[in-house]
Amino acid sequence: MPKRAISADDLLRIIFVGDPQLSPDGSKVLFTHKSINTKNKYITNLMSVDLEGRITQWTQGEMGNGGGRWSPDGASIAFISKRDKVAQIHIIPTSGGEARKLTSLPEGSVGEYRWSPDGRWMAFTFREQIPQFTEAAKKEREEKGFSQPPIEIDDIWYRLDGDGYFAGQRFKLYAIEVATGRYANATSDGAFGPLYSGAPLGEYSFDWSPNSLEIAVTHSANKRPMAEPPNDQIWRIALDGQAWKLEGLPRGEKSAVRWSPDGTKLAYAGDVDESDPWGTRNTKVYVVPAEGGVSKDLTGHSDYDLGATTLSDTKEAGFGSTLVWAPDSKGIYLQIGWQGETQLGYVNLDAEVTLLTEGKHTVGVGNLSRDGSRIAATFGHSTMLPEIAIIEPELGTGRMAPKVLTNFNEQFHADIELSEPEEFWIESTDGSMLHGWAMKPIGYLEPRRYPALLEIHGGPHAQYGWAFFHEFQVLCAAGYVVVYTNPRGSKGYGEAHCAAIRSSWGTKDWDDIQTATRWMQHQPYIHPGQMGVLGGSYGGFMTNWVIGHCNDFKAAITDRCVSNMVSMAGNSDFPFNKDGYFKGVAWGSLEDIKKLWWQSPIAYFQEVKTPTLIIHSEGDLRCNIEQSEQVFTALQQQGIESRFVRYPVTTSHGMSRNGPPDLRLHRLSEIVRWMDRFLK
Q: Would you say residue 524 lies in a domain?
A: yes
C-alpha span between 458 and 437 (Å, rounded): 16
Q: Would you say residue 63 lies in a domain?
A: no
Where does residue 258 rank: exposed (0-12), middle (13-18), buried (19+ CB within 10 A)? buried
Q: Would you say residue 317 lies in a domain?
A: no
- Amino acid present at 610: T
For 606, list phi and psi in degrees, rounded to 5. Answer: -70, -15
Collapsing DSSP to helix, strand or coil, 79 comes out as: strand
Residue 397: per-residue pLDDT:
66
CB 359 within 8 A of CB 372: no
- C-alpha distances (whole Å) from 14 to each of 7, 11, 314, 315 are 12, 5, 9, 11
Q: Mark the ranges of the chain whose per-residue pLDDT is less than 50.
A: none
DSSP lists the bridge partners of residue 215 as: 208, 237
C-alpha span between 372 and 380 (Å, rounded): 23
Look up the CATH number of the domain holding residue 644: 3.40.50.1820
DSSP H or E segment with residue 596: helix 590-597
Total structural domains within the chain: 1
Residue 501: per-residue pLDDT:
96
List the domain range (segments joined by +) for residue 668: 420-564+600-679
The separation between the first and the last C-alpha atoms of the chain, rounded to the nearest angstrom, is: 30
- HSE, CB side, 13 Å, CA atoms: give it for residue 467: 27
- Amino acid present at 393: P
Collapsing DSSP to helix, strand or coil, 271 comes out as: strand
C-alpha span between 481 and 470 (Å, rounded): 14
Q: Would you say residue 459 lies in a domain?
A: yes
Q: Would you say residue 48 lies in a domain?
A: no
Residue 337: per-residue pLDDT:
96
CB 219 within 8 A of CB 198: yes
pTM: 0.97
Catalytic residue set: 537, 653
Collapsing DSSP to helix, strand or coil, 520 comes out as: helix
Q: Would you say residue 125 lies in a domain?
A: no
Q: Would you say residue 471 lies in a domain?
A: yes
- Amino acid present at 83: R
Neighbours of 193 (CB within 10 A): 16
DSSP lists the bridge partners of residue 555 as: 532
C-alpha span between 128 and 480 (Å, rounded): 48
| DSSP designation for 148 | P
- Amino acid present at 242: Q
Collapsing DSSP to helix, strand or coil, 182 comes out as: coil
Q: Would you say residue 550 lies in a domain?
A: yes
